[in-house]
Structure 1
Amino acid sequence: MGEPAFKPDVFQAVADPTRRRLLTLLADKEMPIAAISDCFPISRSAVNKHLHVLLDAGLLHSRRTGRETRYRLRPEPLAQLKDWLAFFDQYWDDKLALLKQYVESENE
């Protein structure tokens, strides 16, 4: 028995700018690979590889319709990113509070 196949997580899947653009493109509509490929300056094969990384991470849903496969966003796994980033909100809040304090003290 061989090694289990590598399965990217949400963080690895969104690390690539092309995959982030794919997610944005598929956020509001379902599209076949031919239409998706027309939106990118890379080969259809390269787009297909990116789509499969997103599928493996659970960020896309695919369905067969006739001879084509259509893709659309599955946003639920993005909650992992939101939860992780929420931890860092405290640092932004602290910095903004310090900036506000500094600006107000300069105006006095």
Structure 2
Amino acid sequence: MSIPAEDKATEQRFENVEVDKLTEYFNDLEEVKDLCDDYIECFKKEHRIPPESDKYELLMELEAELIVRLNDITEQIRHNYVEIFNAYEERALERVKRQRLELLREESKKPKMSKEVN
């Protein structure tokens, strides 16, 4: 069972993104997942049905329709949720910055090796 979009949205803490917008985003992602699942099922059936049958042709038509729908929804997601992508990118940059600072702190705590002069 997947986590409801509303729960996912409230768990994300972005300063510049409304919870309602995040909920819409996660709902759209769920639709993408459903379309992908449908496509995978078609793909599996494709390998069990003889290519010369009418059923195979119908399956190919359905696969093509699913690809077009996937393209449409992912394009909409790219355009409608730019601020969410930016927020995730900012979060990733902050995480990398924190990790680097932590590494620097750890390095500064280590005793320095003295250089021996022969």
Instruction: Please give the range of the TM-score, normalised by the shorter of the 2 chains.
Output: 0.3 to 0.5
Between Structure 1 and Structure 2, the one with more strand by share is 1
Normalised by the length of structure 1, the TM-score is 0.36
Between Structure 1 and Structure 2, the one with more helix by share is 2
Normalised by the length of structure 2, the TM-score is 0.34
